[in-house]
Structure 1
Amino acid sequence: MPERTLITGASGLLGFALATHLVHRDFDILGVSRTQSCVGHFPNVRLDLTQFDKLRDLVHNLRPTVIVHAAALSTVIPCERSPDEAWLQNYSVTKHLADAANHVSAHLVFISTDQVFDGQQGLYNETALPRPTNVYGKTKRAAEEALSSICKRFLIIRSNNIVGRNFGMGLSFTDKLLEVLLSGRPVTLFTDQIRSPIHLRECVHAIECCLRNRVEGYINLGGHEVQSRYETGLALAQAYNISQDLILPCTMSSHPDRDFLHRDGSFNTTKLRSLFPSIAGETVVAGFRRDFIADRKLNHA
């Protein structure tokens, strides 16, 4: 019997990619999005998740076996500028969703972030002490604590730098960067901000594996390479046969909001690789090259 699966943030980058992937793999998908319709891709409803009574009724009536909570105010600077909205979207919504999920005994999978750590030492594993330093990280960590105290069955997936082309909705950093590079304009990228980039395809595959195997607890989801933003940009240019001279190095000290940015949010992904050895083994440049080939085929179709 197909898994009845509710996915929030279904018009966003990760939510849309996941729903589009799972709907063809024996999952009975219902996507939830606030502003955009996903008609033609998978069944979906529009709902403002801060309407907590309607959120509760949706979960109680649908009675999903799995809920993937991918909706969030998910970037650092907007959270700093709108902290009340960040706490509402990232913490309060998650707490109410956890209550509803627990009521119907659903397995709640929460998409969290590397920003729950302090961004100083890097190579964080699942047992590393969370110590968020910005509003985004603090709201996500509070949400982690709330749902872990409410839900009997949960998985917290801490994502890292998701790269690669979108699946049709949501703009990735790669999409934005590639648009600039293909126009021949230069970009500046940090040499001292470190992450564990993972391709969107690999993220989707990893989450599917976690759902099928009912993984619980915490998973740090990142690639096996540790790279600066600058190095990731060079890999993108290489894969798309774009001059790497367009990628200009800079440091975080040049950013006006540098005080809110983390230096090293890289992950130790030993747990992920021990559970699913085939995941996150692709190099960043190889993932970008697959995107390039897919784009070329689409443009010539």
Structure 2
Amino acid sequence: MIKIAITGSNGLLGQSLIELLLLEKEKYEVFGLSRGKNRSGRDDFSYVSIDITKEENLKAQLATIKPNFIINTAAMTQVDDCENNKEACDLLNVTIVQWLAEISQELNIHLIHISTDFIFDGKKGNYKETDTPNPLSYYGLSKLKSEEVLKESKINYTILRTILVYGKVFDMSRNNIVLWVRQMLSEGKEITIVDDQFRTPTYVKDLALACKISIDKKAMGVFNIASNELLSVYEIAQQIAETFKLDKSLIKPISTSTLNQTAPRPAKTGFNLSKTNMQLDFYPKSFKEDLQRFKDILM
């Protein structure tokens, strides 16, 4: 039996991981660590209500569980909030990763950590795992620092970099681009979307599967996880409208410069997936194909 502790188990990825891993209960023993009550709608795994920003609590709990793997899905991901609250951002995105690395070394745990395309400046796009980071925002910087914590440690680690994660789980605390666009258009509301930022969005079920593959293969190092076609955010919104048969004319393109956002965003990211294809034997699809899969689940 493989013991897996998931930090941030109430989040979009956390709940998706619980769903996926519990399909093989004879293989995985799942522990969810999150703040407040269990929001997954399931009671067939071990849930621990915990404030992971308290070092002693976190380490004591993990020492009790003694997991083989930790999947760290907990993070502060609101880019402007990170810019405005750097201390809180550092605590969640860097310091906790340091604590997880320390307990992982002590107990010989393999740590799987989620990172982001925002570690790059967006000047070239189609980033490989080996490309040189240059974050534009404090959020991007914090995630880069968390990667460096792991790379400088002596533990077994996997870093999965991802982009614009979307999906739906039992109890959502936060929206994502697909649900937001679908809701606004369903209500007949006009929306403005940037047409000069380019991304390869990630279906949360793919990200969860990549975590599971990383466990099964004991994969180590950095891997890119995203869909395989670069689209402008405007094109992403258009494809959402088409898939859900909503009115595309309600979507109006605007440029990033008109947004007045606190933190700068990279213009063009997207990932090269060659290493993921070869080493994880994982072949992500296009956003359009993933959207159809998502729609089939929703309908």
Could you say which TM-score interval applies, normalised by the shorter chain? over 0.9
Q: Secondary structure of 2:122's match?
A: coil
Q: Which amino acid aligns with 1:135?
A: Y
1:159 to 2:158 alignment: no
Q: Secondary structure of 1:266's match?
A: coil
Contact persistence 1:219–1:271 (CA under 8 A): yes
Q: Which amino acid aligns with 2:248?
A: Q
Question: Could you report, residue by residue, the CA deviation over 1:260-283 in whole angstroms, capped at 9, with x for unpaired residues?
Answer: 1111121111111223445312x2
Paired positions, count:
294
Contact persistence 1:240–1:288 (CA under 8 A): no
Contact persistence 2:40–2:171 (CA under 8 A): no
Aligned counterpart, 1:233: 237
Unaligned runs of 5+ in 2: none
The structure 2 residue matched to 1:184, chosen from 176, 184, 188, is 188
Q: Which moved more, 1:86-95 or 1:285-294?
A: 285-294
Unaligned runs of 5+ in 1: 297-301
* Closer, same or farther: CA 243–111 of 1 in aligned 2, 3 Å: same
Contact persistence 2:217–2:280 (CA under 8 A): no
1:64 to 2:63 alignment: no
Provide the C-alpha distance between the structure 2 equivalents of 1:234 and 1:61, rounded to a whole number of angstroms.
48
Q: Percent identity?
A: 27
* Closer, same or farther: CA 51–267 of 1 in aligned 2, 3 Å: same
* Closer, same or farther: CA 255–101 of 1 in aligned 2, 3 Å: same
Question: Could you report, residue by residue, the CA deviation over 1:36-81 in whole angstroms, capped at 9, with x for unpaired residues?
Answer: 4236423211111111011111111111000000100012111011
Contact persistence 1:191–1:231 (CA under 8 A): yes
Aligned counterpart, 1:289: 292
Q: Which amino acid aligns with 1:219?
A: F
1:260 to 2:264 alignment: yes
The structure 1 residue matched to 2:250, chosen from 246, 257, 277, is 246
Aligned counterpart, 2:4: 5
Question: Could you report, residue by residue, the CA deviation over 1:89-113 in whole angstroms, capped at 9, with x for unpaired residues?
Answer: 1111110111011111011001111
Q: Secondary structure of 1:215's match?
A: coil
Q: Secondary structure of 1:74's match?
A: coil
The structure 1 residue matched to 2:110, chosen from 92, 96, 107, is 107
Contact persistence 1:164–1:288 (CA under 8 A): no
Contact persistence 2:80–2:263 (CA under 8 A): no
Q: Secondary structure of 1:238's match?
A: helix
Provide the C-alpha distance between the structure 2 equivalents of 1:79 and 1:39, rounded to a whole number of angstroms.
26
Provide the C-alpha distance between the structure 1 equivalents of 2:176 and 2:30, rounded to a whole number of angstroms.
23
Contact persistence 1:239–1:286 (CA under 8 A): no
Contact persistence 1:73–1:79 (CA under 8 A): yes
Q: Which moved more, 1:285-294 or 1:47-56?
A: 285-294
Q: Which moved more, 1:286-295 or 1:100-109?
A: 286-295
Root mean square deviation, CA, Å: 1.6
